[in-house]
Amino acid sequence: MYLITSDEVLSALKQAYDRGVKVRIILEKRVIANDNSDAFNQLLSYGIDVKWASEDFQLTHSKFLIIDGKKVIVGSHNWSNAAMKKNREASVIVQDANTVQEFEKVFEGDWERN
């Protein structure tokens, strides 16, 4: 995820984690005009696995969420207050097994880079 500033999203992630959902997040450290450090530290304090994105890329600007290996939500949304309440954003839910598998490969590859 490129940017997380939404307290509602952070709360939902904590609630999911507390229910026993496996939550892993890759955050971009080099966010322009913002800082993900607060979200990173908050996620860590919840016990959620979080890593900084690899510096192999200029930026990790991807915005997707994999759910139970069955669905991917992908689009323009950051998990920010502005994206959720003010901006015109677009995201889709993809349930095609092959597409989900490709997103899983990308995520796992990025997770292992650090």
77 tagged catalytic: no
Known active-site residue 71: no
The residue annotated as part of the active site, out of 61, 70, 96, 105, is 61
- 61 catalytic, yes or no? yes
DSSP, residue by residue, 57-107: SS-----EEEETTTEEEEES--BSHHHHHTS---EEEE--HHHHHHHHHHH
Half-sphere exposure of 41 (CA within 13 A, CB side): 4
What residues are labeled active site?
61, 63, 68
